[in-house]
Amino acid sequence: MEFPHKMTDDRFYDEVKLKIIPRHKESCASGDEWRTSCQIQLFSKGTCVYENYSGTIKDALIKTLSVLNELLISNTDHENKCFQYGCSNDATVKYQINERFSRMGEKLDKEEYSQSRYYRKFCDDHSIRGDCSREDSDDNYTKTT
């Protein structure tokens, strides 16, 4: 079996937008006037994954913090997007991960994942990974496509 392996810093969002939206309220009883609400949008690789509204920017910021603490997993399929957190480009290369490491950088026992292969995809801009990280490094990938 082959599985995508997200980057360790990846979250379900990579962009937050807050925007005041004016709207005209019309009422025979209380009269007409312009009112505003604040639109909250969370994006992941260019796709809006969450949208809500609040009365003010301050309320929107409080609501956004609550949402960020509760929603940790994206259901959005980004299979053909670059795995670099914050990048929304289409992937152009696919790398098999040679050896897996824990978040603390400890090498995982190959016996634990010998039946599985893990991969990451990147765009041209992020295809060179460097040599600082143990798992996410050029020496730890084998290009498959």
Q: Which stretches of the chain bind Zn ion, using CB under 5 A?
A: 82, 84, 87, 89, 123, 125-126
Nearest distance from residue 92's CB to Zn ion, in Å? 9
- 40/82 with CB nearer Zn ion: 82
- 90/106 with CB nearer Zn ion: 90
CA angle 82-140-93, nearest 5°?
30
| Dist CA 76 CA 11 (whole Å) | 11
- Strands 93-97 and 141-143 come out as antiparallel
- 15/59 with CB nearer Zn ion: 15
Nearest distance from residue 129's CB to Zn ion, in Å? 11
Nearest distance from residue 33's CB to Zn ion, in Å? 46
- Strands 2-4 and 93-97 come out as unpaired
Nearest distance from residue 20's CB to Zn ion, in Å? 32
- 45/100 with CB nearer Zn ion: 45
| Dist CA 127 CA 117 (whole Å) | 19
| Dist CA 96 CA 70 (whole Å) | 32
